[in-house]
Amino acid sequence: GENVEQHPSTLSVQEGDSAVIKCTYSDSASNYFPWYKQELGKGPQLIIDIRSNVGEKKDQRIAVTLNKTAKHFSLHITETQPEDSAVYFCAASLGADGLTFGKGTHLIIQP
């Protein structure tokens, strides 16, 4: 089955700086890669996603890049703000299958 590795497990950045979280996947057939933000005690919130036929997607301060050859994808958050502090999960799936999640990254925005 699919295996998703996510790094780093914890990331601390100064407010206003950029944050980058990286994930790799094992199944080259996977074709959908979403990113979720989870706050304490809440369910994951979809923040951005990308399909395998696209290399990059941007939504305001958030962007995702995908390298199919290397089987890795990354989340980029620019101009970080305190409310960006949360746990971020990458995931991968193939078609109608359920998502396989990475282990998560605890993002801490230092004021």
Partner 1 sequence: GAVVSQHPSRVICKSGTSVKIECRSLDFQATTMFWYRQFPKQSLMLMATSNEGSKATYEQGVEKDKFLINHASLTLSTLTVTSAHPEDSSFYICSARYGDEKLFFGSGTQLSVL
Binding mask 5-44 for partner 1 (x = CB under 8 A): ---------------------------x-x-x----xxxx
Question: Does 49 participate in binding partner 1 (rule CB under 8 A)?
Answer: yes
> Nearer to partner 1 by C-beta: 19 or 33?
33
**Taking CB under 8 A as the criterion, which residues in 61-90 touch partner 1?**
89
Residue 14 burial class via C-beta count within 10 angstroms: exposed 0-12, middle 13-18, buried 19 and up: exposed
Distance CA 87, CA 90 (A): 10
Residues recorded for the chain: 111
Question: Does 102 participate in binding partner 1 (rule CB under 8 A)?
Answer: yes
Distance CA 64, CA 77 (A): 9
Distance CA 42, CA 97 (A): 23
Residue type, position 96, single letter: A
Of the residues 48, 99, 107, 109, which one makes contact with partner 1 according to CB under 8 A: 99
Nearest approach in angstroms of CB 41 to partner 1 is: 7
Interface ranges with partner 1 (CB under 8 A): 32, 34, 36, 41-46, 49, 51, 89, 93, 96, 98-104
